Amino acid sequence: MNNLLVKIAKKRFSNPKSQIVHFVDDEKANKFLNDLKKYPHAYVLACLMDRQIKAERAWAIPYEIYKETSTFELRDLEKIKLREFKSIFNRKKLHRFNNTMAEVFHEAISDIRRKYKGNAANIWNNCPSSSTVVYRFLEFKGSGIKISTMAANILARQFRIPFSDNYSIDISPDIHIYRVMKRMGFVPKDANNELIIYKARELNPEFPGIIDFSCWEIGRKWCKPKKPLCNECIVEKECRKVF
């Protein structure tokens, strides 16, 4: 039988898709990142930027580049030299690692041209398996398993892009997920990434990453590091409250 956490996540997944996925606190930037038809590469590039800085800041980077270049057509981005990207990243202080991330950005654009015929949506078009999508994200410079599963997870869970299965979409542990999984008693207090990932697989093998957003939301709204709001929390009746 499903536990409450999985039930909540499945219910969200079965609800109609929300109008827009919120990545940042800027509606124009969100609209831009949600336009997978016109700018599918903006989504890919934003995922690749999501390393070692706050997610909000990372996800804003493609829109910041767009404001700078006045275009985000892939064929126009391709003409921009690496040194120009480095200059934009450094001048606008877009990332903690401006030179490295400018390289990641630049190389991803040429990979999308070369491997996906200039259309990043070919990464997820035609109902591929979840392992194929995760693998394709892993192939980008600078991408690891956390970014790749997150990218596939958002496509499946929030954009409702159809894959032939969701087995390979793991949870992407962050501080909120760690806290909630430990306090709920799913994993020991000293659990590492692997324990969290395999517990999520055990909880919902057909789509382990489905609980990712629910854990994150519980962690942000109720399961705060200090003074958790247990009385208001949606998983209170099944939580072991391990502190």
Comparison of 136 and 183: residue with beta carbon closer to ligand SF4: 183
Comparison of 180 and 197: residue with beta carbon closer to ligand SF4: 180
Nearest to 211 by CA among 135, 157, 162: 157
Given a contact cutoff of 8 angstroms between Cβ atoms, the answer to whether 7 and 39 are in contact is: no
Determine which residue in the list 33, 123, 156, 235 makes contact with ligand SF4, applying CB under 6 A.
Answer: 235
Comparison of 128 and 228: residue with beta carbon closer to ligand SF4: 228
Task: Give the x-and-dash track for 133-172 against ligand SF4 (CB under 6 A).
Answer: ----------------------------------------
Task: Give the x-and-dash track for 170-209 against ligand SF4 (CB under 6 A).
Answer: ----------x--xx-------------------------
Given a contact cutoff of 8 angstroms between Cβ atoms, the answer to whether 171 and 209 are in contact is: yes
Distance of closest approach, residue 234 Cβ to ligand SF4, in angstroms: 8
Is 236 exposed, middle or buried (CB count within 10 Å of its CB: 0-12, 13-18, 19+)? middle
| H/E run at residue 134 | helix 130-138
Say how far apart CA 201 and CA 218 lie, in whole Å. 19
Comparison of 75 and 240: residue with beta carbon closer to ligand SF4: 240
User: Letter for the amino acid at 241?
Assistant: K
Say how far apart CA 139 and CA 23 lie, in whole Å. 23
Binding site for ligand SF4 (CB under 6 A): 180, 183-184, 218, 222-223, 228-230, 233, 235-236, 239, 241
